[in-house]
Chain A
Amino acid sequence: MFFKDKILNDEEPKLSIGFFHLSSCSGCQVAFLDMFEAAVEILDTVKLVYSNMLTRQKEIPYLDVAFVEGALCLEDQHHLNLIRELSEKSRIIVAIGGCSSFGGVRRLSCGNQPPQPQHQSFVPITEVELLKGKVKYAIPGCPPNSSLLYNFLLALLELNDDFLQPFEIMALSKKASGFDVIAEVVNKGLCVGCGTCSAACPTRAISFKIECAKPSFNPSICVHCGSCLASCPQSFKPYPQPTYT
């Protein structure tokens, strides 16, 4: 694990974390605060070294885990500088929420709005070449469930690799919409009709056909957050996938 040495050797074994905000709604940071009393507990346990909303820090210090929400806007110089700085100063990066993991609602943006009509290219940080290898985990959801965030942070502190493995795989995946649930699970004959995807969908774009016990997908209100495929118990297979030739 990346900070095992730190915990064994350092005098102050507190994990330093930071929240960074690209092109997004800040909802993921609010979801972190929505752990309510547990958030205070977390703030007491880890060291929050940077967050525009919660600390007075202006310069970005060296830190262990950078939680990044939102997609990178290529036309914005501030975002490019921030990403470069993060690639140097953070040990790992966690993409938090749909926008930074898979593009999210930014996948619908088309630019051309005053006063900045050129802002149209929004890239999730998992696709940025500069951060390849740095973005270790991706947490799906719009916003991610706060108890999921809590358990993720606990797993990070306890070095629980089993819990973290699915998030590691999601950082490499680009599959996020209801179409991918159909393609990856239903069309491959793996769907057991449990209904977890429809319960997980934050916009209720996936409903459940009770007659045939299969999900049905309404693409017009899908925001590409990745909750459905991530929550599907049939989608995550920890063993190596067979290849067909």
Chain B
Amino acid sequence: MKKVVKIEGIPLTEGHSGLFLKVEDGVIEEGLYYALVPVRGFETLLIGRDAKSAPIITSRICGLCQITHSIASSRAIEKACGIEVPPEAEELREVLGLAVRVYNNLLHQIIISEDLFPEKILQLDFIRKVQRVRKFIGEVLESIGGEIIHSPNVVVGGISEPLEEIVKERILSQIDEVFKELQSLYREFEKAINQMWKREGLPEDLGKHDLDFLATDKFYSGKIEIDDFSFLTPQEILPEELKTRASNLFPLYKGKPVETGPRARKVLFDGYKPKGGVKELHILRAKENLEALQRIKEILEKKRFDGELWNRESPTGDGETLGIGVHEAPRGTNVHAVKIDKRGKILYYKIVVPTEINLFAVSRALKGERASWAEFIVRAYDPCIVCASH
């Protein structure tokens, strides 16, 4: 029996999103995933504003992975204006990006904890353990970035405040202990995921798809061309009244839908052979936390960061050069593209966020699975809907 199922508001995810499913005998023939939060217009509001204000304002796109937008934005402006950044500042930005990766991946574990632990006591116990690690990561973000959420220290030209040696020593003295805690947390999470799969009777390769992967670097940032992206509008994809209601664009990379995120990074930079399915995605995301924390330790131990980290050159461009800033966000590749004129005002701004890219991957993963499992698949991709319709 054929029918159409529409779900609006998916619990245990961020923001207001919807699912359009064509179902035959309980199996999804075609699934579409889209955003329904209003477009806040970050691309248009930045036009005509001072280039220096962009990292502060773009940070407000998202409350979960704030710093990745400030980093991508300031990198884009530096490229457009030819500003050189002190190498130590780039390394501190990498530390901030990795810290927010751990912070955000752990937040996702809290969000889905109701799925993992049906009993309230176990759930609160798990959240308490996760919060202990997040507290440390919050300290790292606060002492380097200035604030935990929406860090003001990431500026065009570097980092506005140096990291004092005494603060760095404090972070390094705790990091080994936190790493052990994170390891035990990883084991607990893996066990809980396995139990959940058994409890709900989910197949091992739930949400398998054959899409290509997109990632630019394992930890920080790589190269990408904005022309490789093309965008489909909701009018071209979604049915009926959703054409006018959905509030995101659907980006294609080199004309094809792709998946980005922890699995893509693992496949493209670690030679990992993907088994497919969303269970693997959960595990790889948790594994990434361990690697990120190790990398933070590696960077902080290597150098001193208490010198000048900010090239205070005023950003001015020629109005033609397209500066592209890329950052490997927790959910995948985050791209900002900007043009700056001679007065240092923004002429053009374009943002491609990872969740936007992944919307197609979610839709593809839904195909051929049971309709009752659709929400599990969506949650596994950790969608951040406010980012997707920025």
Q: Give chain A's interface residues, CB within 8 Å of chain B.
A: 21, 23-31, 33-34, 36-37, 39-40, 43-44, 52-58, 73, 75-76, 78-79, 104-106, 108-116, 119-120, 122, 142-143, 146, 202-204, 220-221, 223
Q: How far is the CA of A110 from the CA of B37 in the complex (A)?
A: 16
Taking CB atoms, residues of chain A closer than 8 Å to B131 are 33, 36-37, 39-40
Taking CB atoms, residues of chain B closer than 8 Å to A36 are 131-132, 134-135, 138
Judge whether B278 is part of the interface by a CB distance below 8 angstroms. Answer: no
* A-B contacts, CB under 8 A, total: 167
Judge whether B56 is part of the interface by a CB distance below 8 angstroms. Answer: yes
Q: How far is the CA of A75 from the CA of B247 in the complex (A)?
A: 12
Q: How far is the CA of A75 from the CA of B38 in the complex (A)?
A: 8
Q: Given the interface contacts A40-B127, A58-B9, does A203 sit within 8 Å of B149 by beta carbon?
A: no
Nearest Cβ on chain A to B63's Cβ, whole angstroms: 2
Q: How far is the CA of A144 from the CA of B340 in the complex (A)?
A: 32
Interchain CB contact (< 8 A) of B62 among A26, A40, A108, A116: A26
Q: Given the interface contacts A40-B128, A114-B233, A143-B63, does A78 sit within 8 Å of B135 by beta carbon?
A: no
Judge whether B93 is part of the interface by a CB distance below 8 angstroms. Answer: no
Q: Are B61 and A40 in contact (CB under 8 A)?
A: no
In B1-41, the 8 Å CB interface with A consists of: 9-16, 36-41
Q: How many residues of chain B are within 8 Å of chain A by beta carbon?
A: 59
Nearest Cβ on chain A to B92's Cβ, whole angstroms: 17
Q: Please, which residue of chain A has its CB at the minimum distance from the CB of B147?
A: A202
Q: Are B11 and A57 in contact (CB under 8 A)?
A: yes
Judge whether B347 is part of the interface by a CB distance below 8 angstroms. Answer: no
Q: Please, which residue of chain B has its CB at the minimum distance from the CB of A77?
A: B245
17 A-B contacts, Cβ less than 8 Å apart? A23-B38, A24-B386, A26-B14, A29-B63, A30-B63, A40-B128, A54-B111, A55-B11, A57-B11, A109-B40, A111-B39, A113-B39, A114-B233, A142-B60, A143-B149, A221-B56, A223-B56
Judge whether B107 is part of the interface by a CB distance below 8 angstroms. Answer: yes
Q: Are B107 and A106 in contact (CB under 8 A)?
A: no
Taking CB atoms, residues of chain B closer than 8 Å to A55 are 11-12, 114
Taking CB atoms, residues of chain B closer than 8 Å to A143 are 63, 149-150
Q: Are A204 and B152 in contact (CB under 8 A)?
A: yes
> Among the listed stretches B47-55, B164-172, B258-266, which one makes contact with chain A, having 4 or more residues with CB under 8 Å of it?
B47-55
Interchain CB contact (< 8 A) of B41 among A39, A43, A113: A113
Q: Are A112 and B11 in contact (CB under 8 A)?
A: no
Taking CB atoms, residues of chain B closer than 8 Å to A52 are 9-16
Judge whether B248 is part of the interface by a CB distance below 8 angstroms. Answer: yes
Taking CB atoms, residues of chain A closer than 8 Å to B299 are none
Taking CB atoms, residues of chain A closer than 8 Å to B138 are 34, 36
Q: Are A26 and B63 in contact (CB under 8 A)?
A: yes
In B60-98, the 8 Å CB interface with A consists of: 60-64, 66
Judge whether B43 is part of the interface by a CB distance below 8 angstroms. Answer: yes
Q: Please, which residue of chain A has its CB at the minimum distance from the CB of B8?
A: A78
Lowest 4 CB-CB distances: which A-B pairs, in order?
A: A27-B63, A25-B63, A73-B38, A116-B39
Q: Please, which residue of chain A has its CB at the minimum distance from the CB of B136?
A: A36
Q: Are A58 and B11 in contact (CB under 8 A)?
A: yes
Nearest Cβ on chain B to A99's Cβ, whole angstroms: 9
Q: How far is the CA of A23 from the CA of B114 in the complex (A)?
A: 25
Nearest Cβ on chain B to A35's Cβ, whole angstroms: 9
Q: How far is the CA of A75 from the CA of B39 in the complex (A)?
A: 10
Q: Are A25 and B248 in contact (CB under 8 A)?
A: no
Taking CB atoms, residues of chain A closer than 8 Å to B42 are 113
Q: Are A27 and B247 in contact (CB under 8 A)?
A: no
